[in-house]
Structure 1
Amino acid sequence: MAGFLFSKKITWFVFVIFMWGEGTSVLADGMVPETTVVILHEEDGEATINVKNTDAKPALLYSSIENLPEDPEFLALVTPPITRVEPSEKQLVRVIGQFSEPLKTQRLKRVIFEGVPPRKDATTASVGVTIRQNLPLIIHPRGLEKNPTPWTLLEWSIVGDVLQVRNESPYVVRLSQEILLTPQNRPADIGRTYVLPGEVIRRKLGGPLQSTTGVTFYPATVYGFTVASYAARVAVQGP
């Protein structure tokens, strides 16, 4: 069912592009969201965000929810999915929760905003291809206490040449993909910018890691701001 909905969404977006523009030249994107993160509280049922058309011409604003590969469950929708926004005007977009049962942990989705400008005229070969605005959508369960520093709950360990990070907390943790193993100051890559609740990420790094006692990384707050680096202890569990 999810694949069918996704297919319909893409088909409709392609139709919009052909209605508003055609050809090969790239036009500027003028749709700017007012925040860098959207937070939907389960008890509220919805969240809102203003998106401004900063271009000098009207454009169609295409909004959608994108699931993560690790969490494909349908939990929210946006309205309106497609609407015309005049120059310098704002469009209020609603993100509405679709919950079949109470949430137990935070969930992470993506909110996508794309602006499709109109074609210049019937004879001009121009296409409305724009840069996507891709924002995190954090869905917060009813009754879950807010935690401004969830990255402190991550558990780091090394088994042989594998670095492991475990998130046993109910919070989504967002952090830099590149980290630093200490005390050798060896750079490493965990392959992701997030660790979901209950998830374990394992990365085979190669080479001896037994001398590693810590890891330093840059976390991001729930509102998307990068904070000072954070140093965590690493447990070595043997080969």
Structure 2
Amino acid sequence: MSRRLPWQLDPRPDAPFPPAETALREPDGLLAIGGDLHPVRLLNAYASGVFPWFSDGQPLLWWSPDPRMVFRTDGVHLSSRFRRSARGSGWVVRADTCFADVIAACAASPRPGQDGTWITPSMQEAYVALHRLGHAHSVEVFAGDRLVGGIYGVAIGRMFFGESTFSAASGGSKVALAALARQLALWGWPLIDAQVENDHLLRMGAEHWPRARFLEVVRRQVAVPEPPGCWTERFGVLAASSLV
């Protein structure tokens, strides 16, 4: 190796990240260690194609895997069977009405093969802070007043970086993702970052992109002028049945 890895981050929140191309091959994508979850650092990370992922008791770890999992906003697939069930669900979808509830539900959701969650209390606090700044957003699925699914992530320019989903009723996360993709496509946002491979995401239309291709699109999309802010009014209220 030409240098020691992973890179130890500068303590200044506005310090640049090392180039994503210098991330480790094993474990795939590990780029840097340390730093903090200051909003400036988080926004710099996402704009550089980097995201934090660590568990309680670990130092902060920063990743940029190769290949990268992405969704084209016009490429989310829902099965015929699921479409039929969604038509009669009566569910509605909103945005940014209960961000803290969505991220807490994501943190509490069990994940196959994982013990605990990477969405630690400090992570939740950091993303709630980004939400207050208008850069982190949630899409929420309701059955009446009950929250039955959701997704949250980070928006910079016209690029959306998905972080996590949850379902409190079967299919809740699918509806949230489909609704998010529908609205982003209408707004002219081409891509949703899905980070790492997952069989469930692949079945819904996620694609493997070489990191270099992903970074090229990210650099272009984060530079598109798009003011941050709450999405509740802009997103509106969608019936789940309209997505199928």
TM-score range normalised by the length of the shorter chain: under 0.3
Whose strand fraction is larger, Structure 1's or Structure 2's?
1
After TM superposition, the score normalised by the length of structure 1 is 0.24
Higher relative contact order (CA 8 A, sep 6+): 2
After TM superposition, the score normalised by the length of structure 2 is 0.24
Whose helix fraction is larger, Structure 1's or Structure 2's?
2
Q: Which has the larger radius of gyration?
A: 1
